[in-house]
Amino acid sequence: MPLDKYQYMSNVWRDDIFNNKVVFCTGGAGTICSAQVRAMVHLGANACIIGRNVDKTENMAKDIATARTGSKVIGIGAVDVRKPEALAAAADRCAKELGSIDFVIAGAAGNFLAPMDQISPNAMKSVIDIDVLGSYNTVKATLPYLIESAQKHMTDGKTPPPNGTGGRIIFVSATLHYTGTPMQSHVSVAKAGVDAMAMSVAIEQGPKGITSNVIAPGPIADTEGVARLSREQDRENSAKSIPSGRYGTVKEIADATIYLFSDTGNYVNGETLVVDGGQWHTSGVGAKGFEYPDFLLSGSSVTGVTGGKKSKL
């Protein structure tokens, strides 16, 4: 269903800045990534979103398409980012049907709350594979198209790019590993790897015109991440510990995306843009309502969150 514009982007952006451009997004049916893509589509882009669940991905593609009359949004489900051949086929289909791949959002991720001694080796491996290997596979599948786009949309920073921008990738990461976060060892390791990969892409592919950056969201309200990683009864208190005094919104992540992908982000490369209201600076170990170290020493399993520990991971 059509959403009010301010639910997914600010009013400051000009409507046509991504005309005739294409964004490719893994994890595109999620609450954060779908807002990022919806904002791009509103501003003129067409899109291809990738996900594992067929119905969810295809329905979200239809929903995102309502952001702009005449937009083209493809939803490709049944794609596991851990399988490079599946991502390569999705990227090829995107470029063939929409004409190019100018922007990439690597947003597929897996997470749950559990201390290390309750995480199986398979669970640890799966989270790292989804986040790190999945991001790598996304880069490999889309890089030829991004290089082609970058060459078409080079800018010297002195004059407006004649054909707009292109050849840019954003990795969606987190702040969990900055100071260390209990019950998030698996994701902290994975996101640190994602951050390192983004920097390597910037260094190696920057001379070809590519920009590679990271967006690290903090706690974003009404998302799967908040539901999985915090208990409802703890959220009001944890919001008070954030310097900005509240949880963020998906709109604020989408605005950061537009900034990095548009003319404003031309000279930003190899950087991490933290969008968390200052939360990581005050993210003490008890911020999620699980008292440290008492909860860890108790040996209890996490309850009161959506999903919980997924042993099948």
DSSP the chain: ----GGGTS-TTS-TTTTTT-EEEEETTTSHHHHHHHHHHHHTT-EEEEE-S-HHHHHHHHHHHGGGSTT--EEEE-S--TT-HHHHHHHHHHHHHHHS---EEEE---------GGGS-HHHHHHHHIIIIIHHHHHHHHHHHHHHHHHHHT---SSS--TT----EEEEE--SHHHH--TT-HHHHHHHHHHHHHHHHHHHHHGGGT-EEEEEEE--BTTSHHHHHHS-GGGHHHHHHTSTTSS-B-HHHHHHHHHHHHSGGGTT--S-EEEESTTGGGG--TTTTS--TTHHHHHTPPP-SSSS---TT-
Q: How many whole angstroms from its chain centre is CA 105?
A: 6
What is the SS3 string spanning 212-223?
Answer: EEEEEECCECCC
Annotated catalytic residues are 173, 191
